[in-house]
Structure 1
Amino acid sequence: MWVASTPVNFCIACANCGLCFKMCKIKYVIGDLFTAPNQESLAHCVSEDLRMGKGIAVLFKKNFRRVAALKEQKKLVGECAVLTHDRRFIYYLITKKKASQKPAYVSLKQSLEAMKSHCLENNIKRISLPRFNGLDELEWSKVSQILQDVFKQTDISLTVYSLPQGGKECPPAVFR
């Protein structure tokens, strides 16, 4: 597995006055998200209808099931549904109303803020997530800036997983 660590630690205030702020750290990995260490929570984007019929959402549905438990949470666009699995949290970022729609950057940011709040309340320090630009066709430069903005003054580290070149999926690790 290839890893490129890119800590996001630039702060004009720190450079100018020497103050030390907490900064979001983002690491980029090429590989299978489902092989992330067990102490890391997982996150991905879904629609409010929780269909999860395409892309990596299918693997989340297959690996973690409990769609009824997600629906019972009655989360709306801009919110975050949560499951627990083997002492870690699985975050479902609600970024659009229906599976057939495309998300807006504002709903992505709102759902990430909701996840951040849950992480801070539950002392979660590490989250692994797929690169949010696949089926939803989001511009990665904008998404990565949103991630940096949302998590910049926390001690939460993010690991962003991408598929190997050619886009072929890694064989999924299945959890029961």
Structure 2
Amino acid sequence: MKLKYQEVQGNLFSASSTISLAHCVSTDMNMSKGIATQFRNQFGRIDDLKRQNIGVGGCAYIYVENRHVFYLITKQRYFHKPTLKTLEASLISMRDLCIQNNINQLAMPCIGCGLDKLQWSQ
């Protein structure tokens, strides 16, 4: 399956409400720094995410404000760092969920970069 994507500069939270969103988190769903804090404040439902009991390499999601919001589980604890392997596994999990839910538009930051210290070029 070929993936078609486009990189766009802008505010993730200004994306159309028909576009699903995604970002990286830990299994503890701490979300206390960086863009994760904005996701926590805007969408909440942390208990719903925790109840899904998704492990590292998986992807939790909620449906809120008429869109899917994906939480790529790339590390065990908030103070850990992800690896390219755990990032790839969680991206594959999200891809499968997108296919199952007929989602064809998704916005996310330079995933795994910033506080997680992975390189976008990799």
Q: Percent identity?
A: 43
Structure 1: 4+ residue segments shifted above 3 A: none
Residue number in structure 1 paired with 2:37: 58
**Aligned-partner SS, 1:45:** strand
**TM-score of the aligned structures, taking structure 2 as reference length:** 0.95
**Aligned-partner SS, 1:42:** strand
The question of 1:134 aligning with 2:121 is answered: no
**Aligned-partner SS, 1:28:** coil
1:73 to 47, 52, 62: 52
Residue number in structure 2 paired with 1:121: 100
**Aligned-partner SS, 1:93:** strand
Q: What are the equivalent positions in structure 2 for 1:147-162 lying under 5 Å apart?
A: none
Paired AA for residue 90 in structure 1: V
Gaps of 5+ in 1: 1-21, 143-176
**Aligned-partner SS, 1:44:** strand
Q: What is the count of residue pairs matched by the alignment?
A: 121
**TM-score of the aligned structures, taking structure 1 as reference length:** 0.67
**RMSD between superposed Cα atoms in Å:** 1.0
For 1:35-94, what per-residue CA distance to the aligned partner results, in whole angstroms no more than 9, with x for missing partners?
111111000000111000000000000000010110010110000010001221000000
For 1:144-166, what per-residue CA distance to the aligned partner results, in whole angstroms no more than 9, with x for missing partners?
xxxxxxxxxxxxxxxxxxxxxxx
